[in-house]
Structure 1
């Protein structure tokens, strides 16, 4: 171990840089000696952080992790991030590695942030534990960093509306990395540890099914749920035969086909699980089926969306475990078990990314999932994680949208159990920073050539219609363009954004979003007129895009990963007065053999379950929100899904199809009281 900062002396404060933070030494929360560093993160600032800069680059070769002790003295969870930079140009994406965790109220924890190995080099987001009693921070941006040239590291927070405090102590470097050889057992579990519920044998796996069936027979469904999972004893509204929305008092609700009030609790990815790469990583697995083994059918081949493992042979441990548990006809047996589970646990929706076999199941409502793919023009926004944004002004976009929606609409059209359509997911609506975050698509369109970009041409037409003469645009923007034709190639903008330019950017982003949502809406109204348009599941968004969505979608949708729904953070929705549904949220922990917590961390399964209850109740208490869907039904593979290496503890069931009892208990408790709570919270 190499101690970097102990905070025992005032002089150590000189090494710290306070960016939108206040620093002082304190005895409270000290774990190494008598003092620690108290960091107050200031409100209403982007990325407040405690940063340590190297006077000359540090050489951290030979060290496996950056460790520190942290105390949260507040009465609420704090989500924080850690970033290590190997170049002054680091921006959160390039030249750095970054991870996140959520520390619970009044909690002390010892953390380690991985340095030596890049998990993505091994096809994973998280790796096995580093040291006893240390909580590993899951990597989000898993970039390779030059350990011989570390220039800075920081502990940062996201923008908040009030001050938040953390106490940091004992910052140090740790040696050693655990071998990855033989880390996976025959069931896809971590082989080097034991925990409650770990499957020990094939007979144990099969016995869990029998035990669970008794529980499902004893607790078939919440007493106040009707056949749709709607409020059986609640108000009776007009029955239209399909799902719709209605405002009752000051609360928005979904309304079931029978006219009963409905709040949607659901699971994403109710399917046969994700495959993990085998090619190049055979040494990690203690067992794999030989060719000719019945379980060899669960081998496959995949191409990755990101990471160094581009393509190769895969194996699906979850599907293999289903076959071992339920027998040769496992698909039908598992689907029946899953329907019974969802009813028993109080879930009334099969949500996004789930099997097509759930369509028209006649027992649990479901959403229809569609997307837009194909060759049409795209526009960068500055934050293009899953890819650049569709150009809705390209006529080919509408053609491709129809091609994506039509086969789904043909399957679910006129089925009363279909809640509605999500179309697309986490699109690149916004860029980085305060200005680019709202106007990223405007910047992106101007960076293109009008000869190749329908969006750029639409933007120029909008500007020309407003200003007429180029001189008027120059005056408004503080620019000096010689002609309108000078704007056709990629545009260089004056560094200072005038108010007029911001207004023009805002108008373009709103027009862009209207074109997108109107195109999708028209196709849905034609092909599936009885079903709700549930939006595009915003992750990155601008206010202008949300306003346009509110005009054209029946329900707005956001993927919100946080300890709970912060009502203040979503106050911008109040004037829009539209129903809203959360498409994704989750929490994960590392106490049952998994390597990564996912996007919001809990210290253990008990706290994970408590967070579930808190989150759902915070959604129930908001008058605009009409549901929330957990991502996802089962844990991801221990060694990472082939798509992108995610290996998160985010399931209600394990890779062996065993329910987490704490999560099930929290769901039953929360869902059985949810309708009464929502009505009383007015």
Structure 2
């Protein structure tokens, strides 16, 4: 196991020791003096700076996991973000899947908090499966089976922060397919009941086997504009946001833009739901041998130094908001279908970028959030 030693300011999970709360032995969320925090198992405030898609082209080995750890520790990241298996799609035009998802063996070897995705359904915007009958016994049985398989193994792990569900579900599409017109009030209410059942069944399945960990819910696509049935909307309709409130602890949002662009949306979703927000997936991109940037696109920057500076600006703005409890970067490595990694195709870091990330993560994270 790779062991990270605590220091005078951080506990062994990366929590800020000057922020004290009740220790329960597991991660939880709490609002202290107007600011939302993740609370570490030892009872200290924690803000999650993580990296997603920490995966590889072959099966994992201890050498690879140690390679990952050494970089993430050095760069000041404190969380393994979503690293489950993903799909390629016609839209992405490239193979995204690297390897099997992380399992208990890899998590145990890495001395970092993590969030695990439980794939209960295939309702992502990039797949064409049918929406499940969430009122059926078959759906409940499937959710129970998945929760029993994974949650019963992970329920006592203090490094596990909690569980994600689906990645970027296309809720407006499913409203249309299930015969609900989101322009009509009655249809909104009926679809809200359907979504609430989806969240309730998943919640109950997890709780049967694990009452210790947070429910991070779906990873919503915040800035995805979706035209469905002559309605243009983002990936998070109000009726779905209301449906998740009773059974999900944290609002997880993917949003690829500068922070000022997304701030109004995030603020609205926070006020509507009352849930602290994890920025679950976003990045800035610079030109490489395989990527040409488009200057008019906000997330593209001229070079790796500017990329690191963009990270610092975004992080300062985000963590100045008292309802932001984390930001996870997409991604650890580059591939044909994902060009936002911190390593190039030869697995060498983009030093100009990651050194600036390290400066914020190790020196500014808890200073900014305390203002």
Q: TM-score, normalised by structure 1?
A: 0.46
**Cα distance change, pair 333–384 in 1 and its aligned pair in 2 (3 A):** closer
Find the partner of 2:65 among 311, 335, 354: 335
- Give 1:661's aligned residue: 351
Q: CA RMSD in A?
A: 2.6
Find the partner of 1:546 among 241, 246, 259: 241
Find the partner of 1:512 among 158, 172, 194: 194
- The alignment status of 1:586 with 2:283, answered yes or no, reads yes
CA deviation digits over 1:131-150, x for unaligned, max 9?
Answer: xxxxxxxxxxxxxxxxxxxx
1:285-434 counterparts in 2 under 5 A?
A: 331-354=61-84, 355-356=102-103, 357-361=105-109, 363-373=111-121, 384-388=125-129, 389-431=131-173
Partner secondary structure for residue 567 of structure 1: helix
Find the partner of 1:607 among 276, 281, 306: 306
In the TM superposition, residue 343 of structure 1 has moved relative to its aligned partner by 1.7
> 2:334 and 2:285 mapped to 1: Cα distance?
9
> 1:507 and 1:266 mapped to 2: Cα distance?
36
CA deviation digits over 1:537-565, x for unaligned, max 9?
Answer: 01112111112212210111111111225
Find the partner of 1:563 among 258, 268, 283: 258
- Give 1:171's aligned residue: none
> 2:153 and 2:319 mapped to 1: Cα distance?
31
- Give 1:92's aligned residue: none
Tell me if structure 1 keeps the 8 A contact 2:38–2:325. Answer: yes
Unpaired stretches in structure 1, ≥5 consecutive residues: 1-218, 274-297, 299-318, 320-329, 432-439, 448-492, 641-645
Tell me if structure 1 keeps the 8 A contact 2:253–2:279. Answer: yes
CA deviation digits over 1:391-440, x for unaligned, max 9?
Answer: 42233222222233332213312110101001111111124xxxxxxxx6
Partner secondary structure for residue 338 of structure 1: helix
Unpaired stretches in structure 2, ≥5 consecutive residues: 85-101, 222-234
Partner secondary structure for residue 633 of structure 1: coil
- The alignment status of 1:272 with 2:56, answered yes or no, reads yes
CA deviation digits over 1:27-78, x for unaligned, max 9?
Answer: xxxxxxxxxxxxxxxxxxxxxxxxxxxxxxxxxxxxxxxxxxxxxxxxxxxx
In the TM superposition, residue 222 of structure 1 has moved relative to its aligned partner by 8.6
Matched residues, number: 330
> 2:246 and 2:291 mapped to 1: Cα distance?
42
> 1:224 and 1:260 mapped to 2: Cα distance?
10
CA deviation digits over 1:126-175, x for unaligned, max 9?
Answer: xxxxxxxxxxxxxxxxxxxxxxxxxxxxxxxxxxxxxxxxxxxxxxxxxx
Partner secondary structure for residue 407 of structure 1: helix
> 1:423 and 1:361 mapped to 2: Cα distance?
24
Tell me if structure 1 keeps the 8 A contact 2:125–2:168. Answer: no
- Give 2:95's aligned residue: none
CA deviation digits over 1:227-275, x for unaligned, max 9?
Answer: 111113x1221110000000011111100000000001111111214xx
Higher relative contact order (CA 8 A, sep 6+): 2
Tell me if structure 2 keeps the 8 A contact 1:564–1:615. Answer: yes
In the TM superposition, residue 621 of structure 1 has moved relative to its aligned partner by 1.4
- The alignment status of 1:530 with 2:212, answered yes or no, reads yes
> 2:43 and 2:277 mapped to 1: Cα distance?
19
In the TM superposition, residue 221 of structure 1 has moved relative to its aligned partner by 8.8
